[in-house]
Amino acid sequence: MTRHNAHKASLNGLYVITDEKLINETNFEFAIESVLRGGARIIQYRDKSDNAEKKLKQASALQSLCHKYQAISIINDDIELAKAVNADGVHLGKDDANISKARQILGQDSIVGVSCYNDIPLALKAQKNLASYVAFGAIFSSPTKPNTVVAGLDILLTARKQLTLPICTIGGISEKNIQQVIRHGADMAAVISSVFSAKDIQQATMNLNQYF
């Protein structure tokens, strides 16, 4: 089994995304290790700031911790950063570099996820271009992106019928509704504030992870 196929088989479970506004810089590694101890299987490093030094340091620490806990490390948008820290892959938005370019830089076995919002044709295009997984959302209204268009649960039923790729969901997912996205066909449920806004990050992660 190639590394890419092995990763594809592992693309399920709780998918945690970092947020520089919710994680204190001095507690970054503690927060990441807490979600890993809580059972997160995939962690995406996302930081929209311009602090390249901080991002390199944090992404490297995240990759090392993911390796320690046998979890998957993903970098949001930044292919060069993903290469620099030897992350397992990258997550691309609609306007980011294309899938083939990412694989040229990171290697053919790398994971490349694609945001598809509420757009099934975009997901089908990503599948044709050999994306590793696609992400739909916001499934519910999201506290971290309050102005995002809500895709709703029904898009998952449609996607499940038309796609063979693993499906990730994002947007407003919490312990109250995570079972709904799983029942509607999601392989992965991405969370941000549901864990990093919690008083006990590890316990909040465990509470969500129990449904997978």
- Break the chain into its structural domains and give their ranges: 3-206
pLDDT value, residue 105 = 96
Q: Are 73 and 87 in contact (CB under 8 A)?
A: yes
Spatial contact of 64 and 78, defined as CB atoms under 8 Å apart: no
Task: Write out the two tokens for 201.
Answer: 């990050």
Residues 118 and 149 sit within 8 Å (Cβ to Cβ): yes
Q: How far is CA 128 from the centre of its chain?
A: 20
Please report, to the nearest 10 degrees, the dihedral formed by the alpha carbons of residues 144, 53, 67, 113 taken in order.
Answer: 50
- Of 26, 35, 63, the residue nearest 194 (C-alpha): 35
Tens of pLDDT, residue by residue over 114-123, are 999 999 999 9
* Average pLDDT of span 59-84: 97
Residue 1 pLDDT: 37
pTM (2 d.p.): 0.94
The angle, 0 to 180 degrees and rounded to 10, between the axes of the packed helices 120-128 and 154-162 is 30
Instruction: Kindly give the pairing relationship between strand 167-170 and strand 188-191.
Output: parallel
More confident residue, 7 or 205: 205
Instruction: Please give the positions annotated as active site.
Output: 46, 115, 145
Q: What would the pLDDT profile of 29-54 be if each residue is shown by its tens digit? A: 999 999 999 999 999 999 999 999 99
Beta bridge partners of 113: 91, 133
> What's the whole-number mean pLDDT along residues 198-211?
98
Q: Which CATH number fits the domain 3-206, given the four candidates 3.40.50.300, 3.20.20.70, 2.30.60.10, 1.10.760.10?
A: 3.20.20.70
* Cβ(39)–Cβ(8) below 8 Å: no
For residue 151, cis peptide bond before it (omega within 30 degrees of 0): no
Confidence category of residue 146, pLDDT binned at 50, 70, 90: confident
Cross-strand pairs, 137: 170
